[in-house]
A and B are shown apart, each in its own frame.
Chain A
Amino acid sequence: MSVPDQTSPRATGTAAVKRGMAEQLKGGVIMDVVTAEQARIAEDAGAVAVMALERVPADIRAQGGIARMSDPDMISSIVSAVSIPVMAKARIGHFVEAQVLQSLGVDYVDESEVLTPADEAHHIDKHAFTVPFVCGATDLGEALRRIAEGAAMIRSKGEAGTGNVVEAVRHMRAIRAGIRKLTTLDETELFVAAKELRAPHDLVAEVARTGKLPVVLFTAGGIATPADAAMMMQLGAEGVFVGSGIFKSGDPAQRAAAIVQATTFSDDPEVIAKVSRGLGEAMVGINVATLPDSERFATRGW
């Protein structure tokens, strides 16, 4: 049989490939790890990916100083320790850290407010990379600005390292409410909406038409228990990042597995009750309301 000559050359780093990667992570839990051993515990517990970083957000908070991309040795040891995808964090605007992470073969870069920003005005031009990026957002306008820059996945910022889910709830509700509002506007009103959201009109119009972001939406920032994860899923998250919540708790392996199961069965309180039994100590939390503005991560990024 003759094959029609319609073959196109192979293309890497396309929007379909970058966004499609995030689609594969849906319904899963991505866990912060600082060693290869933790990465293996996360993989065994059913994590869908791991986030390699030098210090979990709770330690960055406690120790202060400038938080940067991790040591390449540490990232490489995690990449070779597990078969699931590995993500790693670059500072906001620090495109060279991102270039380094891409050269190390990480599967996703998180341009993260948890690290100390390197540029006070500009985020990384993410279209310039083959590796896909995930970025944090506190509302719809911020999410769409990051997507315009090339982000292939969005997560709520929450307030990382606090064990307090309240900010993640605020951001997820703000993003979802923003989307719902757009779907009620007519064509003329979308121009003003784009101006108010400080986002490109074509993305605003796309969200208004489809009723969803053009990329996958995860939650992050302060998730510490199976019930936290399940609540964020019911609020419309398509998956969960857990940072300090697992390896700052009493029994990381068991808590990690419990959060994975609660994410899959987020609509089944009996499963959540079952996996929440006897989990031991959750991480010690911080009341976000007592945090001075200078110590908040969510206000980083623009």
Chain B
Amino acid sequence: MSGAPTVGVLALQGDVREHLAALTAQGATAVPVRRPEELAAVDGLVLPGGESTTIAKLAVRFGLMDPLRAAVRAGLPVYGSCAGMVLLADRLLAAPAGQETVGGLDVTVRRNAFGRQVDSFESTVRLGGEAVPAVFIRAPWVEEAGPGVEVLGRVVGGEGDGKIVAVRQGDLLATSFHPELTGDRRVHALFVDIVRDARERRSGAVAGDERRADT
């Protein structure tokens, strides 16, 4: 299989445009997703920043929650930033009673963990060996990560020093911060690579001969 991977951005509410632009800059074909048939057509999906309670309610009302859960179970690569991290979490703290999530990521996430908007901040995050500029807005953190979850980044200094703010579990990726707002494209580059690799594996599994014939 060749050509750019198609990466959707869940477009029920939030900073959809910034994610679409960041994905396009990484060579993906970026498309908004609001309906089950649109979800079915993507190789990977971004759950954007926004208000997680609103996004979850709209997903339920428009019949998108179950298809989202099924897609994650079936192995669709998904990246969630901020509200998207909340939506990917299997377990939530400090959430309104009955808030639903897509789930799939074996973590416990604390909503608004760093405080209210007056506590929102810019700082640096250690991502792998690198220092990455990050914007945190009423941001969550990962309180507890399961054994299959790789910790990619932690907060440096200040309130919540050392808290987990970037994780990966297989083809699921999540950050507490908003790389779509800062212009630093390393997280989106990583996710588009994950999507490409997943697509290679899938097409390799069903059409290995065809791919060899292409090269």
Measuring CB to CB, which residues of chain A are less than 8 angstroms from any residue of chain B?
1-14, 16-17, 20-21, 23-28, 43-44, 46-49, 82-85, 102, 105-108, 130-132, 257, 260-261, 264-265
Contact = CB atoms under 8 A, between A and B. Distances in A.
A25 B138 contact: no
B131 A107 contact: no
Interface residues of B, number: 51
Contact of A107 (B14, B54, B138, B181): B138
B179 to A, nearest CB: 12
B117 A47 contact: no
B67 interface: no
A24 B14 contact: yes
Given A8-B123, A83-B96, 14 more contacts: A1-B128, A7-B124, A8-B124, A13-B118, A20-B135, A24-B138, A26-B17, A28-B51, A43-B96, A46-B54, A82-B96, A105-B118, A107-B116, A108-B117
B49 A10 contact: no
A10 B14 contact: no
A151 B49 CA distance: 21
Interface in B42-82: 49-51, 53-54, 57-58, 61-62, 82
B193 to A, nearest CB: 20
A287 B54 CA distance: 33
A60 B21 CA distance: 43
12 contacts: A3-B130, A4-B131, A6-B131, A12-B120, A13-B118, A20-B120, A26-B14, A46-B53, A84-B53, A260-B57, A261-B58, A264-B34
Q: Most chain-B Cβ atoms within 10 A of its Cβ — which of A10, A12, A16?
A: A10
A264 B129 contact: no
Interface in B93-135: 94-96, 111-112, 116-124, 126, 128-131, 133, 135
B123 A46 contact: no
B58 A83 contact: no
Nearest to A257: B61
Contact of B117 (A27, A85, A257): A85
Closest 8 A-B residue pairs measured CB to CB? A107-B117, A6-B131, A7-B124, A10-B158, A27-B13, A1-B129, A23-B15, A46-B57
A12 B137 contact: no
Nearest to A13: B118
B157 interface: yes
A12 B34 contact: no
Contact of A49 (B12, B51, B130): B51
B83 interface: yes
Given A17-B120, A131-B118, A28 B13 contact: yes
Nearest to B161: A10
B131 A7 contact: yes
A102 B116 CA distance: 11
A21 B58 CA distance: 20
B166 interface: no
A28 B57 contact: no
Contacts of A11: 121-123
A132 B118 CA distance: 8
B177 to A, nearest CB: 10
Contact of A83 (B111, B119, B123): B111
A260 to B, nearest CB: 7
B124 A130 contact: no
Contacts of A261: 58, 61-62
Given A83-B96, A261-B61, A264-B12, A25 B118 contact: no
B85 to A, nearest CB: 13
